[in-house]
């Protein structure tokens, strides 16, 4: 089947051999056709760059988008993202299209050195030539930034790039996406979006001892202090119990009422990427996720199934302040009443119902019902900031307001009262997570 995605480009290529006078009667110019084609290519590239969430990993300063410098904390050191603005010295301005394709899909720099897999070329290898070059066309239009990214700080032997040859031997397989003829066009589009452009497995798949992707695709993984949850079709550990509408709402707005609210890295994905996807592409992703083989993670019930409300206001109010320990730390009930109840309600049921900007219920909430309290702890420490098409969702950070002991006490109260009692933490762990 012929590729009909760029008709103006082919027309311009054919017509450039004709004399300009041939177009005078209809008022057309070859340059006009070419410019129209270029504009369409750039617009498509902008959409694809958004779907790939390039800006999240390559922007440390919002005033200089795509200039790199974002740190990736790994078990063996820190890697910084590169400058991908069109600057010819520190960016990608001097790269040929072939150089750019090689870097994106094969993890090879212009000088032949291997890139570190913080750049998800292990997923981007599936991208088509057309999509990679469309992204390149868009990046040519962003403001160039004449600044290099900080030098990586890796311990030996991980600072030896030549060793990446062996890493790739065990953890990388080059190859383009191949549609499954037995599946629908929507399913194949979803597989491409999830597995290639969106590279969801890079966060949601457990890593092996070499930090390569394991065979348990999308079964959930730890990202520093955050947990990227299981998004396979498993009914307990994954999203098998979510409706299509809930999955769509979560990808578009960062909220599935009665189940989950995006925070941390996932809030950034929603803000920078998935909220801009077309309804057709969101539908395709949902269709594909429905078929991802279930991976159990030991969960006996869904994370969102936990929780019971506080039945009486007197359980929180009109009781004397309780102080724990020599440091004078209030108990969880008092901390919740002072810091959380005004937004989440004294019964923990939230305010605003199913509105995308509502203060979420703590009952039937995946962060509160998880087997570990990492995400809840990080939300208390860092807060939430998520811009969506429906508006800005925000929760204040309490890292500067509460001590390590108070954060642990508050988190343990919330999980015990409203969620999974096994999801507890300690002041020592909170201190490390700060």
- 224-270 tens-digit pLDDT: 899 999 999 999 999 999 999 999 999 999 999 889 999 999 999 99
- Name the CA radius of gyration of the chain, rounded: 25
* List of residues 6+ apart from 36 with CB closer than 8 A: 8
What gap in Å lies between CA 151 and CA 80, rounded to an integer? 7
**So what's the pLDDT on residue 329?**
58
What gap in Å lies between CA 411 and CA 409, rounded to an integer? 6
Task: Take residue 230 and report the two structure tokens written for it.
Answer: 């299981």
**How many angstroms separate the first and last alpha carbons of the chain?**
55
Number of Cβ atoms within 10 Å of the Cβ of 159 = 14
Task: Tell me how many degrees the CA angle 260-262-268 measures, rounded to the nearest 5.
Answer: 165
* List of residues 6+ apart from 41 with CB closer than 8 A: 6, 9, 134, 137
Place of tokens 């520190």: 90
**pLDDT band at 74, cuts 50/70/90?**
confident
Answer yes or no: are the C-beta atoms of 115 and 107 closer than 8 Å: yes
Asked if the model's pLDDT at residue 20 lies above 50, the reply is no
**So what's the pLDDT on residue 26?**
47
Average pLDDT, integer, range 322-326: 45
Task: Take residue 73 and report the two structure tokens written for it.
Answer: 């904390």
What gap in Å lies between CA 250 and CA 256, rounded to an integer? 5
Q: Which residue has the higher pLDDT, 325 or 104?
A: 104
Quote the strand ranges of 26-131, DSSP E: 71-74, 77-80
Burial (CB < 10 A; 0-12, 13-18, 19+), residue 133, is middle
**So what's the pLDDT on residue 56?**
94
Task: Tell me how many degrees the CA angle 44-134-63 measures, rounded to the nearest 5.
Answer: 80
Residue 242 main-chain phi, psi, to 5 deg: -85, 145
**So what's the pLDDT on residue 75?**
77
What is the DSSP pairing of strand 153-154 with strand 221-223? unpaired
What gap in Å lies between CA 28 and CA 11, rounded to an integer? 12
**So what's the pLDDT on residue 315?**
54
The least confident of 68-82, 155-169, 237-251 is: 155-169
pLDDT digits (tens, 9 = 90+) for 366-390: 999 999 999 999 999 999 999 988 8
Asked if the model's pLDDT at residue 73 lies above 70, the reply is yes
Cis peptide bond N-terminal to 157, omega within 30: yes
**pLDDT band at 113, cuts 50/70/90?**
confident
Q: Which residue has the higher pLDDT, 145 or 13?
A: 145
**So what's the pLDDT on residue 311?**
58
3-state helix, strand, coil in the chain (%, to 5): 40, 10, 50
Q: Write down the pTM of the prediction.
A: 0.85
Answer yes or no: are the C-beta atoms of 78 and 298 closer than 8 Å: no
- Of the candidates 124, 102, 129, which has an alpha carbon nearest to the alpha carbon of residue 3? 129
Asked if the model's pLDDT at residue 398 lies above 60, the reply is yes
CB pairs under 8 A, 24+ apart, for 307-312? 307/348, 307/362, 307/363, 307/364, 307/365, 307/368, 307/369, 307/418, 307/419, 308/363, 308/417, 308/418, 309/347, 309/348, 309/349, 309/363, 309/418, 310/346, 310/347, 310/348, 310/417, 311/347
What is the DSSP pairing of strand 323-324 with strand 260-261? unpaired
Entry field: residues in the chain: 434
Number of Cβ atoms within 10 Å of the Cβ of 67 = 27
What is the DSSP pairing of strand 77-80 with strand 153-154? antiparallel
What is each CA distance from 175 to 6, 126, 127, 203, 410, in whole angstroms? 24, 6, 9, 20, 48
Q: What percent of the chain has pLDDT over 70?
A: 87
CB pairs under 8 A, 24+ apart, for 64-69? 64/143, 64/145, 64/147, 65/142, 65/143, 66/139, 66/142, 66/145, 67/91, 67/145, 67/147, 67/149, 68/149, 69/149, 69/150
């Amino acid at each position: 089947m012929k590729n009909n995605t760029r008709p103006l480009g082919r027309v311009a290529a054919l017509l450039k051999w004709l004399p300009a006078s041939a177009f005078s009667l209809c008022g057309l110019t070859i340059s006009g056709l070419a410019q129209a084609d270029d504009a369409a290519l750039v617009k498509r590239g902008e959409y694809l760059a958004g779907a790939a969430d390039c800006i999240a990993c390559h922007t440390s300063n919002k005033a200089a988008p795509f200039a790199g410098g974002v740190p990736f904390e790994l078990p063996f050191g820190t890697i910084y993202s590169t400058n991908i603005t069109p600057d010819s010295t520190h960016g990608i301005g001097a790269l040929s299209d072939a150089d750019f394709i090689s870097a994106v899909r094969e993890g090879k720099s212009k000088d032949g050195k291997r890139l570190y897999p913080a750049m998800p070329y292990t997923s981007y290898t599936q991208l088509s030539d057309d999509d990679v070059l469309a992204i390149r066309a868009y990046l040519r239009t962003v403001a160039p930034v004449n600044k290099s990214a900080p030098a990586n700080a890796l311990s030996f032997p991980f600072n030896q790039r030549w060793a990446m040859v062996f890493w790739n031997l065990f953890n990388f397989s080059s190859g383009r996406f191949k549609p499954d003829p037995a599946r629908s066009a929507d399913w194949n589009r979803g597989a491409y979006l999830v597995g290639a452009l969106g590279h969801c497995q890079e966060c949601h798949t457990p890593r092996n001892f070499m930090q390569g992707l394991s065979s348990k695709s999308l079964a959930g993984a730890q990202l520093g202090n955050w947990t990227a949850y299981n998004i396979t079709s498993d009914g307990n550990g994954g999203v098998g119990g979510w409706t299509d509408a809930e999955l769509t709402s979560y990808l578009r707005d960062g909220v599935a009422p009665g189940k989950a609210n995006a925070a941390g890295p996932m809030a950034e994905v929603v803000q920078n990427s998935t909220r801009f996807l077309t309804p057709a592409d969101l539908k395709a992703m949902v269709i594909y996720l429905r078929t991802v083989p279930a991976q159990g993670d030991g969960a006996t019930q869904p994370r969102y199934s936990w929780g019971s409300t506080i039945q009486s206001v007197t359980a929180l109010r009109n009781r004397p302040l309780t102080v724990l320990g020599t440091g004078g730390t209030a108990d969880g009930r008092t901390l919740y009443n002072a810091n959380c109840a005004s937004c989440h309600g004294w019964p923990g049921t939230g305010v605003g119902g199913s509105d995308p900007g509502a203060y979420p219920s703590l009952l039937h909430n995946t962060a509160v019902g998880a087997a570990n309290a990492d995400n809840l702890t990080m939300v208390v420490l860092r807060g939430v900031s998520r811009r969506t098409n429906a508006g800005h969702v925000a929760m204040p950070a309490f890292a500067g307001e509460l001590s390590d002991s108070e954060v642990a006490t508050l988190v343990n109260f919330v999980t015990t009262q409203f969620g999974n009692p096994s999801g507890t933490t300690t002041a020592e762990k909170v201190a490390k997570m700060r």
